Structure 1
Amino acid sequence: MKKLKFSLIIIGSLLLVFIIVTMFNALTLESRQPSPDYFNGTINEDHAINTLSKAIQFNTISYQDRSKMDLIEFDRFITFLKESFPIVHEDLELEKVNSHALVYKWKGTDSTKLPIGLTSHYDVVPVLEGTEENWEHDPFSGTIADGKIWGRGTLDDKIGVVGILEAAEHLLKEGYQPSRDIYLMFGHDEEIGGDEGAASIVSTLKERGIKFDFVLDEGGAIVENMVPGVDQPVGVVGVSEKGSATAELSIEGSGGHSSQPKDRTNIGRIASAIAKLEETQFPADLKGPGEDLFEFVAPEMSFAMKYVFANKFIFEPVIERILLEQPASSALIRTTIAPTIFHAGEQYNALPEKASAIINLRLMPGDSLEEVKDYIKKTIDDEDIKVTLKGSEASGVSDVDSWHFKTIQQSAKNVYDEAVIAPYLMFAGSDAKHYDSIAENTYRFLPVQLTSEDLNRMHGTNEHVSIDNYLNAIGFYMEVIREADKETMK
């Protein structure tokens, strides 16, 4: 009886300690959000709105087959920029790389400081053939209606090009001169990889020994209802982007008549391999940018959610299990597989001699192509299936504690004071990856507040941006330039 009583006392004491420690962790979790220093700049709204509207009207479309690209239209767009932003083109040095990628150098007063770079792209994806009639306004009309600007590029990513140039034009008009050099860099082929745009800009600057403190590109945005337990919109700044790879599974063997099939056919074996990969999946681990995201948003959560994330060392398996329930959050914590193409057979009564499948993978930072290939081969466990893998690994992970990130976070907070600004892992690709080799840090952020429906419009039908969002984007770019100067003056 005494032993039982003693055991209950020990258990009770341990439980009390557990409650005290975990409650203390939750109650002392400090916010990682800066106080807003509200934006008070002046913007010529009519000029800004009309300029983006006109920019949309240029069919600067990128195609995988580059011979289809109408480069005359790209030339016309560059001339349009010169006419729309006369002060920028008078005061800044402009260099064209491969004739259509643009590099503006805004010289600062302190040459000892590393420059910063603001980059976007002005090419857009085509409108899917047959969907033109589904648009409320013509995709290249730049229509201004219902408090919105409509058309391809309003979100991806002429808004960035025009928004950055509007910010520079306004600051120059006010007589502003930055302390450090600022480069404004605009690619013309981001939608097809950026090889002749951003990649060539990087090669050019690298030859001159130019290194950036940080480069800011498009990427995450301010999204409503993004994180459970957080009522405010969350602005996610990409600090890394997942790698993208294509795996091909293929098998060859005797075919024959379908009336006398083997127990395991070529189609069946490839299908079985895919099924094994989907059933097994890559291991999940809340680390890196995914972990950083929740460290920044946890202090802003409801208490129950805050309690869980403040004690992640205890509840991590539960958190991971919850995140795996939804595709978007699942992709945040593991390398993903997506079978997209299957090739086999030509006739209904003939067994195919060959079968193959294509799988698209998005790699987590830290998962190498070689490791991913080995994992696939081990999982499918079929020596007759040939596995080939090609692609790019994840980009480097940028610092979330640096003044670079804090500059972007503060600038966003100055314009969107109610938003929670946090780092995250970007699933798609951008030009930012090219700048990794010449920048201390690269970040990815589109400074607009979007709904989930807006996100689907970026490469889809009825792409548009609200005028308020667009003006806020201009304000954000003005703030980034000025906030970066504050670091110079320290």
Structure 2
Amino acid sequence: MTKRKLAFFILSGLILLFLIVTGFNTFTVRSKQPSPHPAKMTINQDEAVQHLSKAITFKTVSYQDRSKFDFKEFDRFITFLQESFPEVHQKLSFEKVNGYALVYKWKGSDASKNPIGLTSHYDVVPVLKGTEANWKQDPFSGAVVDGRIWGRGTLDDKIGVTGILQAVDYLLKEGYEPDRDMYFMFGFDEEIGGDEGASKIVDALKARGITFEYVLDEGGAIVEKMVPGVTQPVGVVGISEKGSATAELSIEGSGGHSSQPKDHTNIGRIASAIAKLEDTQFKGDLRGPGEDMFEFVAPEMSFGMKYVFANKAIFKPVIEKILLGQPASAALIRTTIAPTIFQAGEQYNALPEKASAIINLRIMPGDSLNEVKRFIEDTIEDDDIKVTVTGSEASKVSSVNSWQFKSIQQAARNVYRDAVIAPYLMFAGSDARQYDPVAKNTYRFLPVQITSEDLNRMHGTNEHVSIENYINAIKFYVEVIREGNKGKSVE
């Protein structure tokens, strides 16, 4: 046998072995989706719709300037909850923390079990001035038109408040009694950070020595056409949220007349620094929550995509390159850089003595503020530019293999039987991170099936939710309470 033939047979054998191993990996991938076991329930639709519709009419708006809060509206909203859910307020303990944060406790029969907390918020973002006429229905009307409920808070996040209370009311009327204590906690300033709402609730709970098995807040939703290669809608449950930091780049130096500029002005040097950061970017790495998401989604993919992700140890560089090609998927695997403010100059013919830029960064779990600062300094290579970085690092990463996550996944599948439920990394912020000190796990999930366009309406124009989605959200909260009370003991 010639050397050429021998090399051909060796190469053919290696290719065959490669195909056998990768094919085996592909065909042995097993679904991580639990079989749905929906309970029969009939939600009083008219009453539920009426409650959410009315809730929208209260202008519980959060402003960065807290002096603009109209707390009379917040008082009216709380009174509305008490009048709309009398049985809940009669049978559960109820307290107001820091005046407007609400905590309900449903006492369970087994004190040895840690409680579960469901949380939401009833403040909403303002309607952008000048956009009011673009709304098909008044943003605070709560109008019910064509099978949809309209207004600010229908998706973010009065749907969570009334949805949870509607579910508790349903279970009370059914005679249901939980095994473990259940807490339902509603903040009033989530849209501006939750420092006076969820944070104060956590302070009170911490003082009482309470530790939750998990806390479930708003976050990911069930989104249609979310993952290439997956025909079913994908429901994403946030197991962590990225940190949010602000980097300021500033430089001071001689100004002078614009007729005699230096080769590199203050503006030019800041601009050059930003260009270097955008050209370099943080390294993408498929790890943590992003990797977990594809572990859950890959078994449901078409064969080609399944083949790639089932053998990600081999194809990881290719996968990362593909993910980095789109902003949404790139944000899943790297710390992001977004220059948002540039300040310099006052006169067209005078060189500014100062120049500065603000960059918003969303930080991956595992990356620290110090590492981010060092990366910026090493990348821009300009010792005269002062770099300061402030903000928060990513929240802790919650378990995807625990009964806690699986109970949420099961509850979602019980209502949305065709959806693929997977963990993911949340890019925005929520009150969930406030509960990290008092919870073994914190999860983020809004139990509605929506499109990418609906996501843009959450803080935008024409926010609305279909009645079907709202009823399904109530059913999910019923299911998640039941699933969380199926005899799990303290770990």
TM range, smaller chain: over 0.9
User: 2:369 corresponds to which residue?
Assistant: 369
Shift of residue 487 of structure 1?
Answer: 3.7
User: 2:104 corresponds to which residue?
Assistant: 104
Moved segments of 4+, more than 3 Å: 487-490
Q: Is the contact made by 2:179 and 2:487 (CA closer than 8 Å) also made in structure 1?
A: no
User: 2:424 corresponds to which residue?
Assistant: 424
1:115 is the counterpart of 2:115: yes
Q: Is the contact made by 1:53 and 1:142 (CA closer than 8 Å) also made in structure 2?
A: yes
Secondary structure of the 2:441 match is strand
User: 1:300 corresponds to which residue?
Assistant: 300
User: 1:352 corresponds to which residue?
Assistant: 352
Shift of residue 289 of structure 1?
Answer: 0.3
Secondary structure of the 2:337 match is strand
The Cα offsets for residues 347-402 of structure 1, whole Å up to 9 and x where unpaired, read as 11000000000000000000000000000000000000000010000000000000
In 1, Cα distance between the equivalents of 2:6 and 2:457?
64
User: 1:178 corresponds to which residue?
Assistant: 178
User: 2:448 corresponds to which residue?
Assistant: 448
Matches within 5 A, 1:46-445: 46-445=46-445
Q: Is the contact made by 1:39 and 1:475 (CA closer than 8 Å) also made in structure 2?
A: no
Shift of residue 9 of structure 1?
Answer: 1.4
The Cα offsets for residues 186-211 of structure 1, whole Å up to 9 and x where unpaired, read as 00000010001000000100001000
Secondary structure of the 1:240 match is strand
Residue type of the partner of 2:36?
A: P
Residue type of the partner of 1:424?
A: Y
In 1, Cα distance between the equivalents of 2:39 and 2:166?
15
Aligned-residue CA RMSD (Å): 0.9
Paired-residue identity, %: 75
Secondary structure of the 1:186 match is strand
User: 1:2 corresponds to which residue?
Assistant: 2
1:481 is the counterpart of 2:463: no
In 1, Cα distance between the equivalents of 2:101 and 2:485?
26
In 2, Cα distance between the equivalents of 1:135 and 1:487?
47
In 1, Cα distance between the equivalents of 2:217 and 2:39?
21
Shift of residue 42 of structure 1?
Answer: 2.0
In 2, Cα distance between the equivalents of 1:100 and 1:86?
19
Q: Is the contact made by 2:270 and 2:355 (CA closer than 8 Å) also made in structure 1?
A: yes
The Cα offsets for residues 96-115 of structure 1, whole Å up to 9 and x where unpaired, read as 10010000000000000000
The Cα offsets for residues 254-309 of structure 1, whole Å up to 9 and x where unpaired, read as 00000000000000000000000000000000000000000000000000000000
In 2, Cα distance between the equivalents of 1:178 and 1:291?
35
In 1, Cα distance between the equivalents of 2:212 and 2:487?
14
In 2, Cα distance between the equivalents of 1:140 and 1:79?
18
Secondary structure of the 1:257 match is coil
Secondary structure of the 2:6 match is helix
Q: Is the contact made by 1:180 and 1:488 (CA closer than 8 Å) also made in structure 2?
A: no
Question: Number of paired residues?
Answer: 490
In 2, Cα distance between the equivalents of 1:333 and 1:211?
31
Instruction: Give the unaligned 5+ runs of structure 2.
Output: none
User: 2:459 corresponds to which residue?
Assistant: 459
1:44 is the counterpart of 2:47: no
Shift of residue 489 of structure 1?
Answer: 8.0
In 1, Cα distance between the equivalents of 2:411 and 2:87?
24
Residue type of the partner of 2:328?
A: A
The Cα offsets for residues 300-353 of structure 1, whole Å up to 9 and x where unpaired, read as 000000000000000000000100111000000000000000000001100000
Secondary structure of the 1:42 match is coil
Change (3 A) 1:275 1:489: closer
Q: Is the contact made by 2:221 and 2:237 (CA closer than 8 Å) also made in structure 1?
A: yes
Q: TM-score, length-normalised on structure 1? A: 0.99
1:34 is the counterpart of 2:34: yes
Secondary structure of the 2:414 match is helix
Residue type of the partner of 1:139?
A: P
